[in-house]
Amino acid sequence: MERLTPRVRVVWLVLALFRAVVLAGLLVGAAVALSETGLWADPPEALVPGAAALALAIGLVRLAVAWRRYAVWRFETRADSLYIERGVFTRTKTVAPYVRVQHVDSRRSPLERATGLATVVVYTAGSRSADVAIPGLTPDRAERLREELRALAIESEGEDAV
Amino acid sequence: MNRLHPLSGAATALHRGVAGGSIPFFLVSMLDGVFDAVEVGWVFFLAPVGFVVGVAYGAAYYYRFGYELAADTFDIRSGVLSRRSREIPLRRIQNVDISQGIVQRLLGVAVVRIETAGGGETEAELAFVADDEATRLQREIRRLTAEQHAEAPDARSPETDASSAADRADSTGADPDPRPTLLFDLEGRELLLLSLSSVSLSGATLLPLVFVVAGDAVVDLLVSLAEPLGGPADLDDASAPQYGLFAVVSILYGALAAYLLGAAYTFATYYDFRLGSTGDDLVYERGLLQRYSGSIPVDKIQTFSIAENPIQRAIEYAGLRIETAGHGPDGSAGSQSAVPLARRRRVEGFLERATGLETPSFTRPPTLARRRYVARYSLLAAAVVAAAFGVSRVWTIPYWYASALAFAGAPIAAHLRWRNLGYAVADDHLLVRAGFWRRRTHAIPYYRVQTVSTRRSIFQRRLGLGSVVVDTASSRTFARGTPTIHDLEVTDARAIHEETRARLEAARRSRGAEGRELSVTFS
């Protein structure tokens, strides 16, 4: 079983932080707007601090999940299929047979480029194709994995699935 | 390159013309309020110009749109300024649908839709062609695809080669399109049962329209209907209980009207439904006002599913649907009715003849799963009570705590959900059943499986349960949620996961040798 590059935690933490800040802005902003504009005639005193506390709590959970995700993520290229294990709360184990691979992408978001990482996305004809993406690879490994998957997919020459 | 029906040229031109004429109208009247330089009078000059430009564009679109059925592709060239030329390999075509509304039937034109897998929409739409041209296209595409099948993929073993040569001789020698063999014909009794038993919301979408058109008359009617039951004689002058009664009675009548409209809609949709087979294709026809006809290549069928609601279960009737990776008419993504409604035993017989699948006995998840659902529905009940409490703070509701009765419903709902879950691991198919209101039993051939996943939420992990998600390429499942076997013992979940994967491999290997496994010999 192969694990991701530990650096992927940085990517996930930054994303989680960003989302937490956006959510906190919305929550606290809404609370302030409610109490300042007089839309709510007599808001309880704890409204704004409460919203801030809620936003903080959600943010902390998000960060914890982002940190923990790394420990759960595993994948393996088996003889006939790609095997993936992931999920902090809901643990998912996916098998994607090579015959079903339609095409393989490797891609790098700006954040991934900054941290020197890449994601490999495997497309099947299934309706949940986005499920099969392997993040947190070094560009080199991503390239090799893509080639490996491509070769395996060709080797197992599928009947057309659809 | 063929052109569309001349009428469609006129229709497009008119349509674009009206659009072109109305844009300056709106723009000018909007900008008139903002800028001083703009004057309303411009409309009289700009709108006709817009109309002429629109008509010219529509006409140009018609003249620049061409389609052609070549030996192994279907080609379309379209676009006035930016040209788009598409070649759709015939092998990739999932199904070909023809639809005809009332006006279109009177004018003798039809809309042809050609579906392929992938993409979010219909691959090619020909609006409109003459109706005999539509049937010709459908038939020719079917014939050419069948020919390709006979030639191309059977180079594996000598026997199939020989048989395919015989096929080819057949298909060239005989009439290219013999009349389809009738497989299923929806009888009047079945159509009536279908209309009455399926609660369709499609009809209810008409209700707001009725209100807009005849709001006052509807309100008057509702008042007069509620009055003998103790409702108010006049809406402006009534007591609170009278208003309450009026509301309740109106909602009941509204629900009745929605139900009847839905029944009428279903009736019109499935009127004169016929399913047949010709060559390697299933063909169907249906519709009272809007006629639909479609053809589905048998080897493009992803899954079969049996659908039944509680009423249909009580009278032992069920429907059978075919799921493909294409997109169906009226938004039913890739799902066509093969048997809208028939006796359950007959439907199972159909499925058995089509797939060689004998109806197996289903296994239910462990009772531990039921406990989970009790907890889940209790949470829902708690939310209901909380909402009732919240509302009772603002308005005075008598007996708001009666909402606690919702808790009594939780175990019942949990039991019903659990009772209708089930799965069976058959030789060539995995069967997954779920749902109380609309119970679906999917028969998934192993060789159609795309990916298999086991999912375990934190609650499931605590109880030692897991769910298996089996993904296929049928686009129907995308909207409906992928077939999932819920809440199995984790060892069973793992076993099924492995089994499905192994059988996919095995089925794929043997499929290469044996050729297609589905047969169209339904009856």
Taking only the tens place, the pLDDT of each residue in B32-86 is: 777 777 777 787 888 889 899 999 999 999 999 999 998 888 999 988 888 888 8
pLDDT of residue B169: 41
Say whether residue A161 is in contact with chain B using an 8 A CB cutoff. yes
pLDDT of residue B146: 78
From the list B469, B473, B501, the residue facing A125 with the nearest CB is: B473
Contact (CB<8Å) B504/A161: no
Contact (CB<8Å) B453/A87: no
Contact (CB<8Å) A90/B455: yes
Q: Which residue of A has its CA nearest to B117?
A: A162
DSSP B166-199: HHHHHHHHS-SSPPPEEEEE--HHHHHHHHHHS-
d(CA A121, CA B226): 61
* Type of residue found at A97: P
Residues from chain B that touch A100, judged by Cβ atoms under 8 A, are: 449-451
Say whether residue A68 is in contact with chain B using an 8 A CB cutoff. no
Residues from chain A that touch B453, judged by Cβ atoms under 8 A, are: 92-95, 131
B389 CB neighbour count, 10 Å cutoff: 14
Q: Residue written as tokens 């009207």?
A: B257
Say whether residue B457 is in contact with chain A using an 8 A CB cutoff. yes
From the list A90, A128, A129, the residue facing B456 with the nearest CB is: A90
Q: What are phi and psi of A28, to 5 degrees?
A: -65, -40
- pLDDT tens track for B234-252: 777 777 777 778 888 888 8
- pLDDT tens track for B491-512: 999 999 989 888 888 877 776 5
| Cα dist from B422 to A130, B364, B419, B442, whole Å | 27, 5, 8, 11
| Cα dist from B6 to B58, B62, B127, B291, whole Å | 12, 8, 11, 21
Residues from chain B that touch A95, judged by Cβ atoms under 8 A, are: 451-453, 497, 501
Say whether residue A149 is in contact with chain B using an 8 A CB cutoff. no
Cβ pair A82, A132 in contact under 8 A = yes
- Of the residues A127, A149, A155, A160, the best mutation for testing chain B's interface (the one with the most B CB atoms within 10 Å of its CB) is A127
B457 Cβ contact list (under 8 Å, min separation 6): A89, A90, A91
pLDDT of residue A162: 55
Residues from chain B that touch A159, judged by Cβ atoms under 8 A, are: 153, 447, 508, 511-512
Phi/psi zone of residue B435: left (φ > 0), alpha (ψ -120 to 50 degrees), beta? left
d(CA B331, CA B273): 18
B237 CB neighbour count, 10 Å cutoff: 8
Helix (H) or strand (E) holding B326: none
pLDDT of residue A64: 94
pLDDT of residue B155: 40
Contact (CB<8Å) A124/B447: no
From the list A90, A128, A162, the residue facing B451 with the nearest CB is: A128
d(CA B164, CA B147): 10
Most confident of A91-100, A137-146, B469-478: A137-146
Q: Which residues of chain B have pLDDT under 70?
A: 118-121, 151-178, 326-334, 475-481, 511-523
- pLDDT tens track for A52-82: 999 999 999 999 999 999 999 999 988 888 8
Looking at residue B287, what DSSP letter applies? -
From the list A127, A160, A162, the residue facing B471 with the nearest CB is: A127
pLDDT of residue A62: 93
Q: CA B320, B474, B293 angle in degrees (round to 5)?
A: 55
CA–CA min distance B327, chain A (Å):
13
Q: CA A66, A68, A71 angle in degrees (round to 5)?
A: 125
Residues from chain B that touch A85, judged by Cβ atoms under 8 A, are: none
Residues from chain B that touch A103, judged by Cβ atoms under 8 A, are: none
Q: Is the confidence at residue A130, as pLDDT, over 70? A: no
Rounded mean pLDDT, A31-42:
78
Q: Residue written as tokens 């019109």?
A: B268
pLDDT of residue B362: 92
Helix (H) or strand (E) holding B330: none
CATH of B67-184, one of 2.30.29, 2.40.40, 3.30.200, 1.10.3470: 2.30.29
